[in-house]
Amino acid sequence: MRRRYAAVLIAAALFTGACGTEPEPPTEKVAVQAVVQAEGEHNDTDVMYLQMMIAHHEQGLQMVRLAAKRAQRSDVRTMAAAVDAVQSDEVTMMKAWLTKWSAPTTVDHAPDAHADHGGLPATGPNEIAALRKAKGPAVDTTFLNLFLAHQHSAVEMAGTETTGGKNAEVKALAQRIRDSRTDQIKQMLNLLNG
Amino acid sequence: MRRSIAYPLVVLGAVGSTLAVMSPAQAHGYVSTPPSRQALCASGDVKNCGPIEFEPQSVEGRKGLRSCDGGNAPFSPLADDNRNWPATAVGNKVTFSWVKRARHRTLNWEYSIGGKIIATVPGNNAQPDSVVNHEIDLSGFRGRQTVLAVWNIGDTPMAFYNCVDLNIGGGGGNDSRPPVAEVKPPVEEVKPPVEEVEPPVQEVNPPAQAAPAPEAAAPEEEQGKSGTEWARNTAYRTGDVVTYQGARYTCRQSHTSLVTWEPSIYTLALWMPV
C-alpha cells in the first residue's frame, strides 16, 4: 500500500502546475509513462503484443475521435471521448516501454496478413470510411457496431500476451485491457439496444 | 524527480480478477442489433446465461442446424424458449447488424422463421468487413417471432447461429432508423488527417452537484454522486469527486465507469488525486 501511495503522490506532483480550475486539453493529460515502467525481463511476445496493440489502439482512436464529434447521442459522444482519453494514455505508455527496450513501435501492417487469427486489428480503412460516410443516427449505430468488433478483437489479442508474455507490467496491461474491454462491450450493447 | 515507480499490480488485480472472463479460443461473430439472445446475455439484459455472457461471438456449430445454441451444451440457455427472451419491436423491414471478429470467407447468411428460410444473402466466398448489415423484409410475419440468423462459412463445415426474438409490426423501433451506411472500399483518403480533438463534450467547471445528464442513461446505470465511493457502471461528470481506498479523486473526463477504470496510476486521464 505504501508504494501505491507513493506513486499517486508523484503523479499528483506531476500535475500540480497544470491542475488549476481550467480543464486542460486532452493532449496535455498524459503523464502515465513517466511513472509506470515495464521493468524486468521481456520476451518477443511482449514486444509483438505492444506493437500490435499500438496499431490496434490507433485505429480505435480514429473511430472514437470521429464519434466524439459526430455521434448524435450525448452518451455515445461521452463514451467515445472517455475512450480517447484512456487509450491515448495507453498508447503513450506502450510506446515508451518499447522505446526503452529499443524495439520499434510499429508493426508490419500488410492487409489481412493475420486477420483470421487475431493477429491484426479487426477494423481497417473500409470500416473507418464507413464511419466517416455515415450520417445522422447511423453515425451512432455504425460506430457502436464497429467499436464492438474492435474491442472483441482487443479481448482476444490480450489472450496471447497473458499466456505467452513474460513482462509482468505488460501482462498486467493485457489483463486490464481484457477486463475493461469486456465490460465496455457490455456497455456498448446497452447503448446500442438499451 | 524519480521517474521510475513500479506500481504494485496486486492492487489492480483485485478488481480485475472478480470478473470471470473467459478467453475465447476462437471468436467469430454474432448479431448485435436487433439484439440476438447472445447479445442480450452479453449486455446483462438477460441474466444467468453462463459462459455465453463472455463470448457472444462463439455460437459455432456444423452447417445445417436449426438450433439457437449451435449444438453447444455450454450455450444451451440460448435454446431455452422458457427464458422469456425480450422481443424487440420492429417494423416490416429490419436491419440486422453482424459484428465479426474473424472474417471467415462466407458462403452466405440465412434468415429463417419457423424452419422456413425467408432470406439468403450471398457471401461470394469473400471475407466480410467487421460489421455487416442486412435489411430483411419480414412483411409476411406479424407479432412475436424468433428469427434464426445463420452465418455459413465458405471454407469450413461450420456456421454461426443466432436467435433474434422480434415483435414484428409492434411499434417498429428498428424500422424507423435511417439505413445504416454500407461498408464499401474507401473512396476517400485511407489515412485520415490527424484531427485536432476538440475538448470532449463537457461543461467547464460544472458545479460539484452536477446537473442530470441531458439524455437518459442506460437503465441500470447509476448517476454518480459527488463525494461518494467510486463504483462500477456509474456515470461520472467532470468535477465529480469520489473516494477510493481512502483517497479522494476528481473526475477530469466525463465517463461511465468500467472495470479497471477506478482511480489509479493508469487512469490519470479520468481521475486526478485531490
Q: Domain of B236: which CATH number?
A: 2.10.10.20
Residue B172 belongs to a domain = yes
- Per residue, the 3-state secondary structure of chain A, as one string, reads CHHHHHHHHHHHHHHHHHCCCCCCCHHHCCCHHHHECCCCCCCHHHHHHHHHHHHHHHHHHHHHHHHHHHCCCHHHHHHHHHHHHHHHHHHHHHHHHHHHCCCCCCCCCCCCCCHHHCCCCCCCHHHHHHHHHCCCHHHHHHHHHHHHHHHHHHHHHHHHHHHHCCCHHHHHHHHHHHHHHHHHHHHHHHHHHC
Measured in degrees and rounded to the nearest 5, phi and psi for residue B61 equal -155, 175
pLDDT-derived band at A173, boundaries 50, 70, 90? very high
How confident is the model over B29-69, as pLDDT tens digits? 999 999 999 999 999 999 999 999 999 999 999 999 999 99
Residue B157 belongs to a domain = yes
Residue B69 belongs to a domain = yes
Residue B17 belongs to a domain = no
pLDDT-derived band at B127, boundaries 50, 70, 90? confident
What integer pLDDT is reported at residue B208 of this predicted model?
40
As a whole number, mean pLDDT of residues B239-247 equals 95
Q: Which of B183, B213, B218 sits opposite A194 (nearest CB)?
A: B218
Nearest-by-CA chain B residue for A88: B269
Q: Do B192 and A128 touch (CB under 8 A)?
A: yes
Whether B169 and B227 share a structural domain: no
Instruction: Give residue B161's identity as a one-letter amino acid code.
Output: Y
As a whole number, mean pLDDT of residues B119-147 equals 95
pLDDT-derived band at A35, boundaries 50, 70, 90? low
Whether B68 and B133 share a structural domain: yes
**ipTM for the predicted complex:** 0.81
With beta carbons less than 8 A apart as the criterion, state whether A178 and A158 touch. yes
As a whole number, mean pLDDT of residues B123-132 equals 91
Tell me the three cell numbers of residue B251: 473526475
pTM: predicted TM-score of the whole model, two decimal places: 0.78
Residue B199 belongs to a domain = no
Whether B47 and B145 share a structural domain: yes
**C-alpha neighbours within 13 Å on the C-beta side of residue B66:** 7
What integer pLDDT is reported at residue A194 of this predicted model?
77
Q: How many residue pairs bridge chain A and chain B with CB atoms within 8 Å of each other?
A: 298
Residue B5 belongs to a domain = no
Whether B102 and B229 share a structural domain: no
Whether B160 and B262 share a structural domain: no
Whichever domain contains B129, its CATH number is 2.70.50.50
As a whole number, mean pLDDT of residues A79-92 equals 97
Residue matched to cell numbers 467547464: B204
What integer pLDDT is reported at residue A109 of this predicted model?
56
Q: Do A127 and B185 touch (CB under 8 A)?
A: no
For residue A100, CA distances in Å to A10, B4, B8 come to 21, 12, 20
- B79 is in which domain, residue-wise? 24-176
What integer pLDDT is reported at residue B107 of this predicted model?
95
Minimal CA separation from A42 to chain B, in Å: 15
Going from N- to C-terminal start, the domains of chain A cover 40-193
Q: Do A194 and B19 touch (CB under 8 A)?
A: no
Tell me the three cell numbers of residue A88: 491515448
Whether B39 and B164 share a structural domain: yes
Q: Do A172 and B13 touch (CB under 8 A)?
A: yes
Q: Kindly list the residues from chain B whose CB atom is less than 8 angstroms away from the CB atom of residue A91.
A: none
> What secondary structure letter does DSSP report for B104?
-
Q: Do A79 and B256 touch (CB under 8 A)?
A: yes
How far apart CA B238 and CA B202 sit, in angstroms, is 7
A40-193 adopts what CATH topology? Ferritin (1.20.1260)
Q: Do B218 and A145 touch (CB under 8 A)?
A: no
Whether B138 and B269 share a structural domain: no
Lowest mean pLDDT among A61-65, A142-146, B224-228, B259-263: B224-228
Q: Kindly list the residues from chain A whose CB atom is less than 8 angstroms away from the CB atom of residue B261.
A: 86, 180
Residue B10 belongs to a domain = no
User: Which candidate in A63, A75, A170 is best for mutational testing of the B interface (most B CBs within 10 A)?
Assistant: A75
Q: Which of A85, A129, A186 sits opposite B269 (nearest CB)?
A: A85
Whether B171 and B239 share a structural domain: no
With beta carbons less than 8 A apart as the criterion, state whether B69 and B78 touch. yes
Q: Is the pLDDT of residue B215 over 50?
A: no
| Spacing of C-alpha B127 from chain mean position | 22
Q: Is the pLDDT of residue B75 over 50?
A: yes
Q: Do A77 and B187 touch (CB under 8 A)?
A: no
Nearest-by-CA chain B residue for A153: B101
As a whole number, mean pLDDT of residues B224-237 equals 89
Whether B146 and B262 share a structural domain: no
Q: Do B218 and A75 touch (CB under 8 A)?
A: yes
Tell me the three cell numbers of residue A164: 505467452
Segment holding B40, helix H or strand E: helix B37-43
Q: Do A145 and B232 touch (CB under 8 A)?
A: no
Q: Do A182 and B1 touch (CB under 8 A)?
A: no
Q: Kindly list the residues from chain A whose CB atom is less than 8 angstroms away from the CB atom of residue B45.
A: 190, 193
Minimal CA separation from A107 to chain B, in Å: 16
Structural domains counted in chain B: 2
Measured in degrees and rounded to the nearest 5, phi and psi for residue B235 equal -85, 115
Residue B256 belongs to a domain = yes
